[in-house]
Amino acid sequence: MPWRDLRADWRETEVGKEKMEKKFMKDWYRKLVKGCILEYARGLKKRASLNWVFGEAEKAMARRYVTKQEIVSMISEIEEGSYLPFLSKEEKINRLQPLRQLLDSKDFPL
């Protein structure tokens, strides 16, 4: 009997581990996408192009760690929040408008 209890505990631990890994990956991809959006909005690095940030967002959406709505929410949060304090709200909106339009023009599976 104790053997069966140990097997059940092991399965529960494995399921818990998978959930933790999935949560970690979701958080990691959200932070990655948000960081890419911020880097693009700053406009300081040549590699931080519209294609680059959209590609990173597209990869995260394809792997189902981030949704289109979450990315649009991140963009709004950056435009409205205290991120990039050296830019005015209008400048942030202008810099992020092409990304928002590109996201709107593409259809992504739900």
For residues 101 and 79, give the distance between their C-alpha atoms in angstroms, rounded to a whole number: 15
17 neighbors 60 (Cβ within 8 angstroms): no
pTM of the model: 0.81
Could you read off the pLDDT of 1-58 as tens digits, one per residue?
Answer: 455 555 555 556 666 778 888 889 999 999 999 999 999 999 988 889 999 999 999 9
Contacts 24+ apart (CB under 8 A), 83-87: 83/38, 83/41, 84/38, 84/41, 84/42, 87/41
* CA-only gyration radius of the chain, Å: 19
Q: What is the pLDDT of residue 11?
A: 59
* pLDDT confidence band for 98 (50 / 70 / 90): very high
Domains in the chain: boundaries: 2-105
